[in-house]
Structure 1
Amino acid sequence: MNKSRVVIGFLGTQLDQPAKRGDRWSGWRPSIAVCQQPDLIVDRFELLCDRRHEKLAESVVADIRSVSPETEVRLHWNQLRDPWDFEEVYALLHQFTRDYSFDADHEEYLAHITTGTHVAQICLFLLTESRHLPAALLQTSPPNRSGKDPRGVYSVIDLDLSRYDQLASRFQAEHQEGLSFLKSGIETRNKAFNQLIERIEQVSLATRAPILLSGPTGAGKSQLAQRIFALKRHRQQVAGPLVEVNCATIRGEQAMSTLFGHVKGAFTGAAAARAGLLKSADQGVLFLDEIGELGSDEQAMLLRAIEEKTFLAVGSDDATSSDFQLIAGTNRDLHQEVGRGNFREDLLARINLWSFAMPGLAQRRDDIDPNIEFELQKFTTTHGRKVTFNKEARKKFIEFAHDPSTPWKANFRDLNAAITRMATLSPGGRITTDMVDEEIQRLRCSWRGSEKPDSHAATLRSVLDENQIAQLDRFDQAALAEVIKVCSQSSSLSAAGRELFQISRQSKQRANDADRLRKYLAKFGIQWSDIAAGEFS
């Protein structure tokens, strides 16, 4: 089915005037020329006219009917106080789009952007681009100097940029550039992480709403916040600075003053006024790492600052304004903190619009290899000395890094520290297997030292080695650790059995607790004597 073609445009108060001398058809008049194009049949022309140019409008209507009898012309009268006032012109056109009965199933629309003031042309473009006006753009031009045809030329511009291959490829390249920038140029392989970064890039460039980055310590929240800011700065989306603070480092009145500033004499020691970090972040980005550490008063003030863009400095009765984008980081589950009464539910609702959970290194083991290369390159840049692994050393470190039993408790901080240490100590710029062995031992000792005294791993390590523990499911680790703990506190195998099976033994006629326990331990290659001689305490 062929659709009817409808043109929407302004009367050209200058360009649509007939020639003052000679033949009225000798000059180019864009509104009339649109209807003279042999391959652009116009079924209806919606012509927006100012009442002050009524005579010209009637003349143009008559001339269109003369050159294109099939074209229906509808005049839409208005009287702009100032056709160069953007707000007034946009309001007029916006109301026109709200009142007009568009029928996209049966009609196609062209917005003529050649006539009218430059302000009117811009407003037509914006309303077309936002799809308030479901049209393509129609641009007409006069004939060149050697041309004698007053019809001139025209072009139709579809703002669906995905249809333009060259533009689409440019946007895709720009998109990939943004993704690579957020990942510090690391060619990450983890599919879930790459999808996460793609969504963060999309959101970062589309909104100034708060962004919440959650995840364990060392997962890269701070670095990602810095990259988001740098990307927005590169795209001219922020004019102010990036202001960062770890909320765990500020407490009480110091926190209020640090964040919101204070006036002179607000408290003992306030010898001079202080602007505060929120004010310093005006027109920029404020990164509050570990936001869950803020006290209730700071949370309430922050909520007001986010919603109203104003807050009170300590000791002041006058509101301070600051327009910033908030990026918050946390290694806590803020929903649980709300349940415990430690975090305001309304503040979480406000900052949780765009929430992204950063995985730890142990959940991204397929990204370990490219991150090792990144760390080696960073070392080279920082120290001016190129360092590489020999083949055997790299294989050994990679196997250790990918081993499920390797916890990477501090995540990328652990990996960075390991590479930095080995690179610093490498003779002749080559990391050897001996150095890898030394580093693996150092990491294991540091992780073991950070374990809680009652952790399963610490208990199991009293009778099993690391490789044996690594072969156990977490379920078995938890159960076996509890059994070993009871055994270590019992005087005999039978006493431990009675403690462990005190419920189920009641249903047995002959409860052989010692035998049941001995068989259970044997499943894991453990004997009672191993526990009795163990170092567990």
Structure 2
Amino acid sequence: MSSHKVLIVDDEINLRKLLSVVFTEEGYEVICAADGEEAINLFGKEAFDLVLMDIRMPKMDGLTTLKILKEANSEVPIILMTAYGGVDTAVEALKLGAFDYTVKPFDLDDLKLLVKKAFIKQQKRENIPLTEVELPNGYDKHEKMLTNSTNMMELFRNIARVSQTNSSVLVMGESGTGKELVAKAIHYHSKRESGPFIKVNCGALTESLLESTLFGHAKGAFTGAQSNQVGLFERANHGTLLLDEVGEMSPGLQVKLLRVLQEREFEPIGSSKTIKTDFRLIAATNRNMQEMMDQGLFRQDLFYRLNVMSLFLPSLRERPDDIMLLAHHFVQRFCAENGKDVLDFFIDTIEVLNNYSWPGNIRELSNAMERAVIMAAGALIYPEDLPEQIAQSKKQDSQVASVFANRKLANKNLKDSMKNFERELIENTLRENHGHREMTAKALGVCKRTLMYKLQEYGIDSD
């Protein structure tokens, strides 16, 4: 039997009971608290070996509680849980000394493994004081990364860790997934955050123009060079340079880039003066770099220089839980920009958005929400307010589905039809509120007890 004592802090009584049973069966001594204030009181009276705590709680949120607990005892590992994800939250949690961070709904086996890792690391530390990571925060809040997807949380943790190094980073992912946002998050949470963040799209410029842009040139170096120009490598000194679509760079420029990365110096075009520079390079691409190297289109030695640390962004279709989260975020933003009251989504619109494949990823979703805000005539966004190719996808699906729907309805009486509608309404509202029962009950205009009864009646799992 383990002697480890675990404090579980969450305002959801059912989750507290579940985790208490799970970790008691794992051999831990478990004590529960309903909010941050109760957790602090217990923490002052008893010695705990680990804290598993929700972030969003009444009275006192998890981050505030985390800070107070760490001030009381910096040695105790604390794992935070939340139904809401974001790189800022992950960074702030690590900054305040959290061991790690997980997103609801989580896999219990994964959570048990995470707790075991915390205890293993605690044993290896042998009472060495925990080093807090200082991660300043300075980038535009409109560009913050939001997620409810568990497959994004490892990325957020890696961003927080990578930002504290000076190593080159290769960010990979489809177009529109947010590679530039990742680069900005790394820069603005690093020790270089007061320096410049400079970006250039390697695929948008000709080879000669890109070379001049990166290295600069001396007056008279070529026709039209009427004055000296400072290149981006020099301008990025003590800052970060993002080379977007680096896979589009020509073989000749790849050689020159390799030299700059190796020696941290270069000469502007038409000049013999060597300039030293201290910049961090982040490269981004939507290309398959292995295929490009196999075809001789990209140098292996340069790839290894760029790929000291690699981060991969999943496509939007691989993170379906984020579609409505991001859609609401964009709608709020564009309503504010256009002076409109915040709009909501008609239930059919939610279905369209969730079922669409989003080949253009988050960029396409943002553009679609901007158009929807402009086109919406009332308080709701309807499918016809969306771009035609998105709205049309619903019509094609509904033509097939309507045949089966009509058959089903033909064999149902009014009572059955109303129950079917009620179940669908509850499921959609629960999804919109990311599984939060109190928010769902409020949105449906019923008390939480009624909602819990309906969840049980229809066998709806909200965990």
Q: TM-score, normalised by structure 1?
A: 0.48
Counterpart in the other structure of 1:221 = 179
- Gaps spanning 5+ residues in structure 2: where? 1-72, 79-92, 100-131, 402-463
Counterpart in the other structure of 1:212 = 170
SS in 1 for 2:97: helix
User: Alpha-carbon deviation of 1:377?
Assistant: 2.1
Counterpart in the other structure of 2:98 = 172
Rg: which structure is higher?
Answer: 1
Counterpart in the other structure of 1:443 = 390
Which whole-Å CA distance do the structure 1 matches of 2:280 and 2:223 have between them?
Answer: 32
Which whole-Å CA distance do the structure 1 matches of 2:315 and 2:179 have between them?
Answer: 10
Question: What is the identity percentage for the equivalent residue pairs of Structure 1 and Structure 2?
Answer: 32
SS in 2 for 1:282: coil
Which whole-Å CA distance do the structure 2 matches of 1:179 and 1:402 have between them?
Answer: 32
Identify which of 380, 383, 388 aligns with 2:343.
Answer: 388
**Equivalent AA in structure 1 for residue 210 of structure 2:** A
Which whole-Å CA distance do the structure 1 matches of 2:387 and 2:221 have between them?
Answer: 53
User: Alpha-carbon deviation of 1:365?
Assistant: 0.7
**Equivalent AA in structure 2 for residue 292 of structure 1:** G
User: In 2 relative to 1, CA 336–468 (structure 1 residues): closer, same or farther, beyond 3 Å?
Assistant: farther
User: Alpha-carbon deviation of 1:465?
Assistant: 5.1
Match status 1:257 vs 2:212: yes
Contact 1:261 1:273 in 2 (8 A): yes
Correspondence 1:86-105 to 2 at 5 A: none
Which whole-Å CA distance do the structure 2 matches of 1:226 and 1:469 have between them?
Answer: 44
**Equivalent AA in structure 2 for residue 163 of structure 1:** E
Match status 1:410 vs 2:368: no
Contact 1:258 1:277 in 2 (8 A): yes
**Equivalent AA in structure 1 for residue 216 of structure 2:** G
Which whole-Å CA distance do the structure 2 matches of 1:351 and 1:168 have between them?
Answer: 26
SS in 2 for 1:172: coil
User: Alpha-carbon deviation of 1:354?
Assistant: 0.7
Correspondence 1:155-194 to 2 at 5 A: 162-163=74-75, 170-172=96-98, 187-194=146-153
Identify which of 372, 375, 380 aligns with 1:431.
Answer: 380
User: In 2 relative to 1, CA 386–252 (structure 1 residues): closer, same or farther, beyond 3 Å?
Assistant: same
Which whole-Å CA distance do the structure 1 matches of 2:371 and 2:210 have between them?
Answer: 36
SS in 1 for 2:217: coil
User: Alpha-carbon deviation of 1:425?
Assistant: 2.1
Contact 1:365 1:401 in 2 (8 A): no
**Equivalent AA in structure 1 for residue 311 of structure 2:** F
Identify which of 147, 150, 158 aligns with 1:199.
Answer: 158
SS in 1 for 2:203: helix
Counterpart in the other structure of 1:326 = 281
User: In 2 relative to 1, CA 469–311 (structure 1 residues): closer, same or farther, beyond 3 Å?
Assistant: farther
User: Alpha-carbon deviation of 1:271?
Assistant: 1.1
User: In 2 relative to 1, CA 364–180 (structure 1 residues): closer, same or farther, beyond 3 Å?
Assistant: farther
Contact 1:186 1:374 in 2 (8 A): no
How many residue pairs get aligned? The number is 285
User: In 2 relative to 1, CA 444–347 (structure 1 residues): closer, same or farther, beyond 3 Å?
Assistant: farther
User: Alpha-carbon deviation of 1:172?
Assistant: 3.0
User: Alpha-carbon deviation of 1:422?
Assistant: 1.2
Which whole-Å CA distance do the structure 2 matches of 1:169 and 1:223 have between them?
Answer: 20
User: Alpha-carbon deviation of 1:179?
Assistant: 10
Which whole-Å CA distance do the structure 1 matches of 2:172 and 2:140 have between them?
Answer: 16
Which whole-Å CA distance do the structure 1 matches of 2:375 and 2:250 have between them?
Answer: 44
> Which one scores higher on RCO, CA 8 angstroms, separation ≥ 6?
2
Which whole-Å CA distance do the structure 1 matches of 2:146 and 2:342 have between them?
Answer: 20
Contact 2:371 2:387 in 1 (8 A): no
Which whole-Å CA distance do the structure 2 matches of 1:208 and 1:169 have between them?
Answer: 18
Which whole-Å CA distance do the structure 2 matches of 1:297 and 1:187 have between them?
Answer: 39
Which whole-Å CA distance do the structure 2 matches of 1:283 and 1:325 have between them?
Answer: 8
RMSD: 3.6
Which whole-Å CA distance do the structure 1 matches of 2:203 and 2:241 have between them?
Answer: 16
Counterpart in the other structure of 2:188 = 230
Contact 1:180 1:187 in 2 (8 A): no
Identify which of 353, 356, 364 aligns with 1:401.
Answer: 353
Contact 2:172 2:179 in 1 (8 A): yes
Counterpart in the other structure of 1:266 = 221
**Equivalent AA in structure 2 for residue 214 of structure 1:** M
**Equivalent AA in structure 2 for residue 212 of structure 1:** L
Which whole-Å CA distance do the structure 2 matches of 1:439 and 1:168 have between them?
Answer: 39
What do the CA deviations read for 1:126-166 (whole angstroms, capped 9, x no partner)?
xxxxxxxxxxxxxxxxxxxxxxxxxxxxxxxxxxx841689
SS in 1 for 2:271: coil
SS in 2 for 1:356: strand
